[in-house]
């Protein structure tokens, strides 16, 4: 529903991030949905082995419809998990911890990790 609302309220492609920010401003407690998570998996495959690019691109793509930082961080963690599974066969839990470790240290407690 959020993705549809943002896409339908945007004035054009250049306005997507601004429309997402407007939605977040109006709905701060309910705007970290999974709509952006569902479309970021290809980022992991495009950025295999490049953590900085992977995290940055996952967050940027998420921000097109989901301005809440938690949504972007979840996308980054998801992409790291995919990267680790494909390249290294890493367990899901370990891959998630590695993904959290790539984010700003202050964000770790919000994502269930000790800072």
**Cβ-contact 80, 51 below 8 angstroms:** yes
Judged against a pLDDT cut of 90, whether residue 112 lies above it is answered with no
Residue 93: both structure tokens together: 């839990």
Give the residue from 15, 12, 107, 106 showing the smallest Cα distance to 63. Answer: 15
Per residue in 23-34, pLDDT (tens digit) is: 999 988 887 778
- What confidence category does residue 36 fall into, taking pLDDT thresholds of 50, 70 and 90? confident
The residues near 110 (Cβ < 8 Å, ≥ 6 apart) are 70
Judged against a pLDDT cut of 90, whether residue 80 lies above it is answered with yes
CA 37, distance to chain mean position in Å, is 6
- For the whole model, what pTM was predicted? 0.84
Average pLDDT over residues 46-66: 94
Distance CA 92, CA 59 (A): 20
């Amino acid at each position: 529903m959020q993705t549809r609302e943002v896409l339908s309220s945007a004035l054009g492609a250049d306005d997507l991030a601004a429309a997402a920010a407007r939605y977040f401003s109006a709905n701060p407690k309910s705007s970290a949905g999974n709509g952006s998570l569902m479309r970021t998996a290809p980022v992991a495959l495009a950025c295999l082995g490049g953590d900085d690019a992977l995290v940055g691109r996952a967050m940027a793509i998420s921000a097109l419809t989901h301005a809440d930082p938690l949504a972007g961080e979840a996308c980054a963690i998801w992409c790291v998990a995919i990267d680790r599974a494909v390249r290294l066969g890493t367990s899901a839990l370990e891959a998630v911890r590695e993904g959290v470790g790539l984010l700003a240290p202050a964000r770790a407690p919000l994502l269930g990790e000790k800072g």
